[in-house]
Amino acid sequence: MRWMVRAMCRALGPAMPVAALRREDVLGALEPFRSARSWNGLLADVVTAIRWGNREGLCDLPFVATLKARPVEFREPSWFPPDKVERILRMAEAHPGDHRAAAGMRLSLGFFAGVRSVEAERASWEDLDLDGAVLRIPRPKGYTNGMKPRIVELERNAVAWLRRWRRWTQGRRRGRAPHGPVVPRPPLFSEWKKAWLAPAGLSWGRDEDANVMRHTYATMTALNLGHGHSTAMLERHYRGLVAKDVAERYWTIYPKEG
């Protein structure tokens, strides 16, 4: 709410009394946000604040009931076919260097475990149990104090690739077990993509971050995505995007070694 109030003050001026707020003022403040999703998210914060003010007697703004969300056009998630995923992973295998561990771990957790980028960055090697095929996410997305860790069951592909990168990391450390974050220094992944994928013509698509890996995983399985017990989101966005033989091809992508 503090963030929303600061944003409204920047848009409308800090001297405007809340009681003088008009419907057109709110809509004008939201106008710069062209994306319907961003617009709706900010509108929800504004509506919550105004309703709280009305309830507490700080203002009387009945127009809040007329503020409606914009329709959001459905857009099919972008995802990579199996042959592109394999080419990307083979690039990671073939080009060693300081960037490879960051790239390999991020690719493995994204494509074959569906782990969110922010969650992968929060996990450490102590949270990864390859023998038990599980990854403990100590602070899931939207983490607040008291939220229990999320446990991700790792697919066989994920375990095989993660073992591959762990061996390489241990080799770099002369046999010592790796420690610290599983995904070291997130900016290295972006640098690796620019250095190796772009020259090879492997565009990352319209998802400039790593979400496309999670979307790719979601087209192949409905497990481990951390949406509780509801499958509504998966049914709405991912069902029927790929044929069975395409999914089967995806799950045959393993490291060349090991």
Whose CA is closest to 203, among 191, 193, 195? 193
Residue 85 has pLDDT above 90, yes or no: yes
pLDDT at res. 159? 93
Residue 132 has pLDDT above 90, yes or no: yes
In this prediction, residue 91 has a pLDDT band, given cuts at 50, 70 and 90, of confident
pTM listed for this prediction: 0.67
Q: Residue range 75-93: average pLDDT?
A: 86
- Of the two residues 214 and 167, the one the predictor is more confident about is 214
pLDDT at res. 189? 78
Using a pLDDT cut of 90, give the percent of the chain over it.
Answer: 16
Whose CA is closest to 162, among 195, 201, 123? 123
Q: Mind listing the domains of the chain with CATH numbers?
A: 2-66 (no CATH), 82-250 (1.10.443.10)
Compute the radius of gyration of the chain from its Cα atoms: 23
pLDDT at res. 223? 45
Residue 145 has pLDDT above 80, yes or no: no
Alpha helices, DSSP H only, in the chain? 2-12, 23-30, 36-55, 82-94, 100-113, 117-122, 156-172, 187-192, 211-220, 232-237, 244-250
